[in-house]
Structure 1
Amino acid sequence: MECWKALLFVGLLGLLREGLTDCDLGFTTSDGSALCSDDDECKGGGPCGKHAKCVNTIGSYYCHCLEGFVGKRQVNFASAQCTDVNECTAHTDICGHAANCTNLIGSYNCTCHVGYTNTTSDPGNCTDIDECKEADLCAGNGTCENRDGSYRCTCSEGYTNYGKDRTACSKLDCDSFNGNGGPAPSLGGLADILFMMRNSCLALSDPSTAGDGKVLLQVRAADTETPSHTFRTQTNPDSILNPPARVLHLGQNLFTATDAILSPGPLESGEDVSGLLVAVENALMLIGPQLKDGRTKTTTTETDLEIAVQRGKTAPTGPIHLTNENATLDTDWTTAAGMASYPGFALAALLSYKNLEASVNRSFDGLTGHEKDGVSPSFQISSKVVSVVVSNPSTQNLSSPVNITLRHLQDNVESAQLSYICAYWTESGAWSTDGCYQLQSTATHTVCTCQHLSSFAVLMALYDMEHTFGLQLVTKIGLTISLACLVLCILTFKFCRSIQGSRTTIHLHLCVCLFMADLVFLAGISQTKPVGSCRFVAAMLHYFFLGVFTWMLLEGVQLYRMVVLVFNASIRPLYLFLAGYGTPLLIVAISAIIRPNGYGTDHHCWLSLEHGLIWSFYSPVCFIIILNVFFFIITVWKLAQKFTSLNPDLSKLHKIKAFTVTAIAQMCILGLMWVFGAFLFEEGTTVEAYIFTILNSLQGALVFIMHCLLSKQVRDEYAHFLSCVCTSQKKRYSDLSSTNPSSSQSQGSRSGQNTGESKI
């Protein structure tokens, strides 16, 4: 009985122990213990995630969102639903009025505005900076006034910050626009520019005036660009300037006034050119600082402008590249700003004049030191004129050179007689090359590097061909032979009775014109001084060479009439003279009236290649050659038909055939000479000079050979004349007294033969 009770007690105790070790959720038992203890779920970071804090409770836990996050209290969940709080929108004044609020994950940041600083640990405690206590921000030329978050420079009289309150005061030089001792006020329209710019300059001295250079430039909206945007609207001029500054003649602007000066045509003097260039450059120095940061472009009928402006507390650095259709500027902001006191801005401008080269194609007397092999060149403008303007006050000796690439007016093939020179226009109205050098030249562009700034252009230096002793000797000997042969031709055509007729008359006057042309050419082609005599020589050459081709045309017409017209093939002498001498005279007279200065150049007394005057010679010559080719084709065709007819007059046809062959050969010789002489007087090479000289020299000899020595009638006349000269006086008297009938019959027979050509 006692044993049974003991066993029952032990069993009940085991059952009790098993019931106590089954703990609820959130509790666990320790090793060897029958008691349940709380489980710490937050141990090791817990399940709440990185934006919440885990809090343990008896038998459970909950997640509490960290500061900067918000969410519901979550119990016995795997993670808390915490989201970031945007303090910048929840509390609009959390950073105060002087800072910008930036939301962060679980926090925020306050950034003070420009002009404010934070010296405490409080992120919203931004206080005003007193800039006026720092360096002399107004450059000593004005009064610095501190403002909430900023400052203002009130400039003294004669100084301005161009309406930019936080820009140092710069000195104004309004006297540069008064015309006293500066730009020539006599140039029409220049007074408007000077008046407008002077009033604008004076208005800038008024601190209440807010200037804007776009008014003076009158820039189109699409032409004004900044790095980040493009202006889309045209600013109203009346809304920019206060009433004291409206005297600027806002209806006008710099470049409309400049166009009005340049549009009528070239300026008359170098002083006028200098006056305009100086006035425009000074105006750009006044207008540029009033423009916004970035780049401004404007184009008119006479100008093409690009301005770059940069502002800041420190001088800008980096390259500058400005370009337009005719020029490119490469420099840097350090050169543009200069080494002097920085005024708070820097500018660089490239201005190209579209039609000014005609006004400055002179004043080359000051250019020296460009001789080549002892030959001094002649100069002419080979690019557009461009002006380079920078804010650097010391532009006469730059710390580093600027590179200017200029496009040539015409593409030129490289030649030993041609070179390019970089030059600038001086205020005295002349070209100079001091401080400017050529870096590279191609057929289309020249790159210039200059140590100072002004208005620039590329000059083309033309060197005369070296007229060697051999070329001069060939010219003199050849033309002398040609003149002698032409004299023989003239005497032959004048006094040889057996060949008289319309064709002989044409040959006679063709030789007269060619003789006069060669004589004037030999005596005066290089006599360029005085100018009046040179122009007269050029006009005479123009007239007589045209006369040669006109008489050649009349020969083609005569041959055409001989073949096509059976009867009355001759042309009346009066008509021949009117056409042969009147037509060239009319052409020369019209040319001299239209382009009187085109007769005579600096090197030769011939027609100038400028302004197209040379075509008053080549156009008639080309027309005559084309017309003669037509006549000769018809003539040959008709001759071929006549040779195949049933009863052709072979003797007459053979003579016309010979006439046609000599006429075609004559046309080829005269035309070929002027193919090589087309541009010889300006750009010809030595080879072209020899070919032209030889052909020109041989013309008279070839005419004598073709029309005299190859003609049987003329040879018979020469033989008869020589026999008469060589026969003694006594022999001739005996021959004259002789009544030999056979001799008389022989002379009659020869006379009958020699009348054949005269009939033709």
Structure 2
Amino acid sequence: MWISLVPLTLVWLSMTQAFEPCQMVWDACQKGDVPWTRCYEDRIGSCTVKGRLMANFIHRRVSWTQEADESPTPQHRVRISSSALQRSRGATSEEEVLLVATVINSTFFKLSPPLQGTGRGIRITLDRPSPRTVLGGLVLAVRAGNHPVSDLSQAIKLTFKHNKQVEDGACVFWKESLLEDGTGYWSTSGCDTSDNGSEFICSCNHLSFFAVLVNPVLSVDEGDAVNLSYITYIGSALSIFFTVISLIIYICLQRRRPEKAIGVHLQLTGALLCLHLSFLLCCFWVWQLNEKEEDWVCRGLGLLLHWSLLATFTWTALEGFHLYLLLVRVFNIYIRRYLLKLSLVGWGLPTLIAVVCGISGVYGKYRLELRDADNRNSTAEICWMSSHRLSVSFVTTVAFPCLVILCNSCMLGLVVFKLWGLRAGGGGAESSGDSKKMTREKWLKLWKDCATVLGLSCVLGLPWGLASTTYTSLFGIYVFTILNSLQGVFMFLWSLALSCKSRSDNNSSVRDPSTQKVMTTSFNN
């Protein structure tokens, strides 16, 4: 007999749930064994509104033939297209669908505990962002119809107002973890973010619990993180190999034809060699460290890496200074013991800064945090400055390089202006009878000019300026990583060009005097 009562029991439960007041759904889902987010989504669509409607809560039926536009709070707004509403009603013939929109405190969303893992020699810690990063501490929950919708052709628009002091927001939705313990994490999948200065506008192709994370770390998949690591290690190894060859070439050129520019190139190449060597040593040593180990070797390697980076940027700045003397102060630029004075600045300034930082206890293990596509953080360690020394790191590794790149960009612009002026001045010598020949020569000159500009860009450290693109796109991270890990290779190509040019100076001066003038100024003097 009890078997025959089972269908009646199910019907009774569905009826009681259908007449459940919406005010009681929240408390009931908090006490249940099912994850509250799943319970809330299931029961909020079948409850009934009794008495006065709750604050910041919209629960009404809307026509699926037109767009729904609701604002549960002055700071939150949701717009759902008619096509999305039509899909949410399923196969029913109802002319209206139920729309529920409300805001929920972000503290009720419990983040999954950190996951520990090791990936191909790199110790990685997966973590989730803190709820305090949710804009305003409020989450916008949206539900429409009786069927979940995703992969919408017309995205759902959600608006989150903010003050102008908030930066770098990312639209996310709540995704339950596989642990069935009510925890989860914020994911950016299916959502695009735009900011008009006062509002974050989220365009999402599905319905769920939505929020905006402010000041997020750029999303990087764990696979991309491993790929970037391999690119960095392989590129640094290649740079070490080719910088050694470049040093040999510069030494030979210096012995055969002593020139100040070759001496400056030689010092910059040596700084690059120290930088890539110290970087690989820091990474290798961290692999050997235990979880809680913090010894003097890591601090020493952090000092060496910092010193090498400062020396690289200092010599890059001196390359720009030397180019300034050649292109702007063409006459009366003789300086007694010029290379010795440059060496005192190029090696002395980084040494002084590194020693002061070392005495101050700046160096130690630093945690690099990335976030994957599911908004989980991956943390890798490196011997560098301690995480709490952000001010020192900002001044020495952000402000100083930005100043160097800005000045050297001006120098490169001056070189381009000089090249353009020389080409424009020499254009009248072309004869109309040899148009094809001159066209080929024009292309050859253009190719040489482009090679000159690209080579000088690497020597002047302008690829470091691509660091700004790493905050906006994954593609920018890849470009920045590839170009800067292969700096030693580019310096080798530059030294090879100098070596080849030194053998053909006499011939090139006869064929193209304008090119010879610029090349001599840029490469050698």
If the TM-score is normalised by the length of the shorter chain, which range does it land in? 0.3 to 0.5
Bigger relative CO (Cα 8 Å, ≥ 6 apart): 2
What TM-score do you get using the length of structure 1 for normalisation? 0.33
Larger Rg, first or second structure (1 or 2): 1
Greater fraction of residues in helix: 2
Q: TM-score, normalised by structure 2?
A: 0.45
